[in-house]
Amino acid sequence: MIVCVCKGVRCSRVRAVIGDGATTVDSVGAACGAGTDCGSCRGMIEDMIEEALEDGAMARVDGRGRTHLHVAQPAA
Ligand code: FES
């Protein structure tokens, strides 16, 4: 499913970016472009970040102090 029509970014890409540590809408946009044009998808991206955090995402901090989240993928 496409989350960001303007940039053609799929749900799976946004989840991957969140899993790599993007925990704000702006950081998701910086990583994949989602939410950086008209902005109408920003609420959906924010919901995806909140869901990932609420669903017990496993966080770890790497050697550079960056946070990485393991985000469970929904069943197909
Ligand atoms: S739909 Fe994502 S910026 Fe327009």
Going from N- to C-terminal start, the domains of the chain cover 2-70
pLDDT of residue 64: 72
25 lines ligand 1 (CB under 6 A): no
Dihedral (C-alpha) 42, 43, 44, 47: value to the nearest 10 degrees? 120
Cα–Cα distance between 10 and 62 in angstroms, integer? 26
Å from CA of 55 to ligand 1 middle: 25
Between these two residues, 10 and 57, which has the higher pLDDT value?
10
Region 6-12: what's the mean pLDDT? 96
Mutation probe of ligand 1 site: the residue of 17, 38, 48 with most atoms within 8 A of C-beta:
38
Between these two residues, 58 and 6, which has the higher pLDDT value?
6
pLDDT of residue 20: 87
> Model's pTM, two decimal places?
0.76
73 lines ligand 1 (CB under 6 A): no
Sign of the alpha-carbon torsion through 67, 45, 17, 50: positive
Region 40-53: what's the mean pLDDT? 93
- The architecture that CATH gives domain 2-70 is Orthogonal Bundle (1.10)
